[in-house]
Amino acid sequence: MANIGLRVRGSLVRPSVELRSLVANNNYVTQISERLAIQLGLMANSHDVYVSPGLGGGGPFQLKWRISTFPMIIAGLPDAVKHKSYSVYPIINTSDAFYEMILGMDCFDQSYDILNYSINDREGYRRGMTASSGPGHVAGGHYMGHNMILTPYAEIPIVDEYLEFPVRGSRAVSRIAFNRVTRQLVAVYTSSDAVYCYDQLSQPLQQQIEDGAASVDDIMTAVKEACAEQTIASFPADTVLIKPENAIVPE
């Protein structure tokens, strides 16, 4: 691991922030603290998402954090870095994060300039430049944060909550969510503002949803044929946005 000085910006109505970020090439997505997300105006544009420790995490367990649906712009990089700005959608550590920011592979995939520069930045180490730790910093303390990845859908705990799937490519459905405990599906169609509810989906239909083996429109056609349709007052307020291929933002 290494660290690098940079400037980050979220919402255009908030000023940019200069900080020293940790660089972790095993982090699948860039991670920021809740404090920084609030300062950049990203908390208001975020939703729940499950993350897991990934490589070296010490076992299969998941944490529900948040993920920004508004891009964070990374800039203010040293002259040695050829690409001067990067756009990422960071996960937000909603507990008392140790570091304000940890750069991940979503940034390096755009260019390895940052990773190569930070690893070779021996001058930074000699000057004692360290990443910006938050107010929860405890010297020698253990914390969650390294090697974070988005959790595959199959590994999400079975809890009583609605998991919402982005409706990529659907002409008929604007929102769809599924509860793995109650086996209840709710949907909103593009042709109406009404919210429709379908109870007790069959195991094959549930498996299709979990496997992502069929399109949303095909699933909804099968659901409407097999289940009684009723309307409810509103779409579930708190959903966890997810899909099998771990998309970061709705498409």
- 3-state SS, one letter per residue, for 29-42: CCEEEHHHHHHHCC
pLDDT at 80 over 70: yes
d(CA 36, CA 66): 13
CATH number at residue 70: 2.40.70.10
For residues 20 and 14, what is the distance between their CA atoms, to the nearest angstrom?
A: 19
In-domain check, residue 80: yes
**Are 17 and 98 within one domain?**
yes
> Is 226 inside any structural domain?
yes
Task: Determine the residue type at 190.
Answer: T
Q: What is the pLDDT of residues 50-78, one digit of tens each?
A: 888 876 555 567 888 999 988 999 998 87
Are 146 and 105 in the same domain? yes
Q: Please give the mean pLDDT across all residues of the chain.
A: 83
Shared domain for 37 and 63, answered yes or no, is: yes
- CA angle at 237 for the pair 236 and 241, rounded to the nearest 5°: 80
Average pLDDT value for residue range 82-102: 86
Q: Are residues 211 and 109 part of one domain?
A: no
Strand ranges for the chain from DSSP E: 2-9, 17-23, 31-33, 46-52, 63-68, 72-75, 86-88, 91-93, 101-103, 149-150, 162-165, 173-179, 184-189, 195-198, 229-232, 239-241
pLDDT at residue 127 in the model:
60
Do 140 and 158 belong to one domain? no
Asked if the model's pLDDT at residue 246 lies above 60, the reply is no
Percent residues over pLDDT 70 in the chain: 85
**Which of 93, 119, 150 is the last residue in one of the domains?**
150
Instruction: Write out the two tokens for 70.
Output: 């508004």
Q: How many domains does the chain have?
A: 2
Amino acid residing at 133: S
pLDDT tens digits along 118-132 = 777 656 555 656 777
Indicate the residue among 95, 129, 150 that finishes a domain: 150
CA dihedral (17, 22, 27, 32) in degrees, to 10, reads -30
Say if residue 124 is in the same domain as residue 199.
no
- pLDDT tens per residue, range 218-244: 888 999 999 999 999 999 988 888 765
3-state secondary structure of 118: helix
Domain boundaries, position 88: 2-150
> Where among 91, 117, 150 does a domain terminate?
150
